[in-house]
A and B are shown apart, each in its own frame.
Chain A
Amino acid sequence: MLAIDVKDLRKQFSVQKNREGLSGALKDLFKREYNEVTAVKDISFQIPQGEICGYIGENGAGKSTTIKMLTGILVPTSGELKVNGYVPFKDREKFVNGIGVVFGQRSQLWWDIGVIESFQLLRKVYRVSEADFRKRLNELVERLQLGELLNRPVRKLSLGQRMRCELVASLLHNPSILFLDEPTIGLDIVVKTEIRDFLMQMNREQGTTILLTTHDLQDIEALCSRVIMLDDGRIIYDGGLDDLKNRWSKGREIQFQFAGHTQLAKLRQLTESLDVTWSMENEVTAKMWLPHAVNVSDALACVVGGVEIRDIKIIETNTDDIVRSIYSSGSASTAKETV
């Protein structure tokens, strides 16, 4: 069954145009002009149950707007939308019982009261029975090590502690879909790892579908089997992360450390038959860049015969670089044509 089914989804906002200067402001007072801004432009995608899907894109690409439509906060301008079998904005109150939402930038908890009291309140809001609540809370508290935090007011928690509590709060009613909008923003690496492990485990054991937006591609690498990339309101890539890497990374680099002083010319001569380029780092280290068309073993074979090598390091282009180049080129499909 599909957890999320989106077809030709579109969201337009009319944004008031502010004319310049005092005279402009006066004109605005009497006659306003509006711009239609389309934040999400007819996107379609489907997410099956139990998948962890990353939703990435630059700031302002329309990620949050999509998430808000999927969670029933915003009403789409046009298009079809089905999440968990509901149309989110139509049966909002029934629908939200089956989803969990975490907005990294905004707290879901009550600021002044103890964490446990926020949870109790949410228990009532979501109509979770006391027994289920206890069981679930104990599991989550143990898993995320919240024990001693439960009685502190939220405003006295650190960001990492708060984010773990937010996660618990969004999971108390055992939702089958979890929406995470930048869940690791501003967290240190330890908490990030902990949250990733936790999400991974929950997905594995309970089959929770997770859709997360993030700017941290390590989140995506650690969690997601699938990535949807958004640019200017349109989907420019939808598929596996490995695919994305294979398709957009143009090659890899091998760094050699030689036993003695080695000339660039000699290296070039050794690999004459291959389409590779060399650059010297210092007298004993050199880097060879080879496109995907060239086999690593072939390249190594050529070098190994000619010079004595102390150390070899193969450097994959990392996801950050790939995504950066897609963002700056504007679209993944244009990038494809140039390859």
Chain B
Amino acid sequence: MRYASLFWEYIKNYAKTRLTYRADFWIEVLSDLLFQGMNLIFILIVFQHTPSLGGWSEAEVVFVYGFFMIPYGVFSTFFSIWNFSERYIVKGEMDRVLTRPAHSLYQVLLENVDPPSLIGSFVGAIIMVLCWFQLDLPFQLLDVLVMLLLILGAVLIYAGLYTALSAISFYSDAPTGIVPLMYNIQNYGRYPVNIYNKMIRFVLTWLLPFAFVGVIPASYFLEKKADDLSQLALLTPVMGIIVFSLGLFLWNHGVKRYRGAGS
């Protein structure tokens, strides 16, 4: 309850500071959408050369992409901690966070909320609905509930992975190289994993479970394929809880190793 009211306070302050720079706000929204649009165009171009990708049709892959945009948007809103290492560890702002009575990760997340990213989620939802009609999928009310559960699981997976990634800064001096690497790997999860070789598939499913953010949960709603990824779909929330717990554990353990900066 208290954490919820804190959240609201921070959002209000975000609004006060950011909305005063209107142009900046819209530019961010626009660049976010452009970035997602480019990815989508890439998918469309691929399908101009081939009718199906590993047994997946164009509409299905776009559907997966639409699904992916929802948890990704939510994640980007609450976990935009790309500059954690530089701002909180190198500059020592973690000092301030640690002298306040709320969980340190929660404070760091709140100080960096980025609501414009949520627009990506809405666009993703629209894309998904359009594909739903195009693919002529059956619709039940239960689907909506399952969808929410899967989205939540996917967000947790992302959150856990990036929490763990940020927590590495507590252990190592400058883990700058890892973030772009992860950023590239995460993109693989949006496409049907059966197009990759076994090794990459295994990594994407079980080690860095980005497949659980895109293709696996989305396949629950699509026609069954030969290798039937949808069997794994309901594992998404479980994976989410496991990955997030690991990330949180790594964070809590890492905070104890925080060394401060300068005087």
A interface residues, Cβ below 8 angstroms from B? 13, 16, 59, 64-65, 68, 71-75, 89, 92-94, 96-97, 99, 101, 103, 105-106, 108, 110, 112-113, 117, 120-122, 124-127, 181-182
Q: Report yes or no: B260 in contact with A74, Cβ–Cβ below 8 A.
A: yes
Closest to A117 in B: B13
Within 8 A of A (CB), among B86-139: 92-96, 98-103
A106 CB contact (under 8 Å) in B10, B96, B98, B101: B96
B residues in contact with A71, CB < 8 Å: 98-99
B56 at the interface (CB under 8 A from A): no
Residues in A whose Cβ lies below 8 Å from that of B260: 64-65, 68, 73-74
Distance to closest chain B CB from A96 (angstroms): 5
For B102, give the chain A residue with the smallest CB separation.
A125
User: Which of B101, B256, B257 makes the CB contact (< 8 A) with A94?
Assistant: B101
- Are B102 and A59 neighbours in the complex by a CB distance under 8 Å? no
CA gap between A72 and B101 in the complex, in Å: 11
A124's partner among B5, B17, B93 (CB-CB below 8 A) is B5
| In contact, B98 and A105 (Cβ under 8 angstroms) | no
Cβ A125 vs Cβ B6 within 8 A: yes
CB neighbours (8 Å) of A97 from chain B are 101
Q: Residues of A contacting B6 with CB < 8 Å?
A: 124-125
Q: Are B9 and A120 in contact (CB under 8 A)?
A: yes
Q: Is B259 interfacial (CB 8 A cutoff)?
A: yes
Per a CB cutoff under 8 Å, which of B13, B17, B173 touches A16? B173
What is the size, in residues, of chain B's interface with A at 8 Å between Cβ atoms?
A: 27
Cα(A233)–Cα(B173), bound, Å? 24
Is chain B's interface secondary structure helix, strand, loop, or mixed overall? Answer: loop
User: Could you say which of B5, B96, B263 contacts A108, with CB atoms under 8 Å apart?
Assistant: B96
Residues in A whose Cβ lies below 8 Å from that of B49? none
Determine if A59 and B263 form an interchain contact, defined as CB atoms under 8 angstroms apart: yes
Assuming the contacts A59-B263, A125-B6, asked whether A68 and B16 have C-beta atoms less than 8 A apart, the reply is no
The interface residues of chain A lying within 8 Å CB-to-CB of B22 are none
B188 CB-CB contact with A under 8 Å: no
Whether A73 pairs with B5 at a CB distance below 8 angstroms is no
Closest chain A residue to B107 by CB distance? A125
Q: Count the A-B residue pairs with Cβ separation under 8 angstroms: how many?
A: 72
Q: Does B258 contact A (CB under 8 A)?
A: yes
B198 within 8 Å of A by Cβ? no
Which residue of A has the minimal Cβ distance to B21? A112
In the complex formed, the residue of B with least CB distance to A118 is B13
Which B residues are CB-close (under 8 A) to A105? 262-263
A92 to B6 Cα, complex, angstroms: 18
Give the docked Cα–Cα distance between A186 and B167 (Å).
Answer: 35
B residues sitting closer than 8 Å to A (CB atoms) are 2, 5-6, 9-10, 13, 16-17, 92-96, 98-103, 173, 256-260, 262-263
Residues in A neighbouring B94, C-beta threshold 8 A: 73
Shortest beta-carbon contacts, A-B, top 3? A112-B17, A101-B99, A73-B98
Main secondary structure of the interface of A (DSSP, over half): mixed
A126–chain B nearest beta-carbon distance, Å: 6
Task: For A101, list chain B residues within 8 Å (CB).
Answer: 99
Known: A96-B100, A121-B9. 16 other contacts (CB 8 A): A65-B260, A68-B260, A71-B99, A73-B95, A74-B258, A93-B102, A94-B101, A96-B98, A96-B101, A105-B263, A110-B13, A117-B16, A120-B9, A121-B13, A122-B100, A124-B9
User: Can you list 21 A-B pairs with a CB-CB distance of less than 8 A?
Assistant: A13-B259, A73-B94, A73-B99, A75-B256, A75-B257, A96-B99, A96-B101, A97-B101, A99-B99, A105-B262, A105-B263, A106-B95, A106-B96, A108-B99, A120-B9, A121-B13, A124-B5, A125-B6, A125-B102, A127-B101, A181-B263
Pair B13/A74 contact, Cβ less than 8 Å: no
A75, B94: Cα distance in complex, Å: 14
Chain B residue with Cβ nearest A182: B263
Contact between B9 and A93, CB atoms less than 8 A apart: no
Q: Are B17 and A113 in contact (CB under 8 A)?
A: yes
In the bound complex, what is the Cα–Cα distance between A73 and B260 (angstroms)?
8
Bound CA–CA A75/B254 (angstroms): 11
CB contacts (< 8 Å) of A124 on chain B: these are 5-6, 9
State whether B10 touches A121 (Cβ < 8 A): yes
**Closest CB in chain B relative to A194 CB, distance in Å:** 24
* Contact for A72 among B16, B98, B173, B262, CB less than 8 A: B98
Q: Is the CB of A125 within 8 A of B17?
A: no
Query: What is the CB-to-nearest-CB distance from B114 to chain A, in angstroms, rounded to a whole number?
Result: 15
Residues of B within 8 A of A182 (CB): 263
Q: Which residues of B contact A127 (CB under 8 A)?
A: 2, 101
| A103 pairs with B95, CB closer than 8 A | yes
Q: Complex Cα distance A63/B257, Å? A: 19
Give the distance in Å from the alpha carbon of A182 to the alpha carbon of B10 in the complex. 29
Chain B residues with Cβ below 8 Å from A126 are: 100-101
| B99: chain A residues within 8 A (beta carbon) | 71-73, 96, 99, 101, 108
Q: Across the interface, which residues of A come within 8 angstroms of B100, CB to CB?
A: 96, 122, 125-126
**Min CB gap B165→A, angstroms:** 21
- Identify which of A16, A96, A181, A182 gathers the most chain B CB atoms within 10 Å of its CB: A96
In the bound complex, CA of A65 to CA of B92 (Å): 13
Instruction: Determine the distance from Cα of A235 to Cα of B102 in the docked complex, in whole angstroms.
Output: 33
Please, which residues of chain A bring their CB within 8 A of the CB of B101? 93-94, 96-97, 125-127
Query: In whole angstroms, how far apart are the Cα atoms of A243 and B135 in the complex?
Result: 87
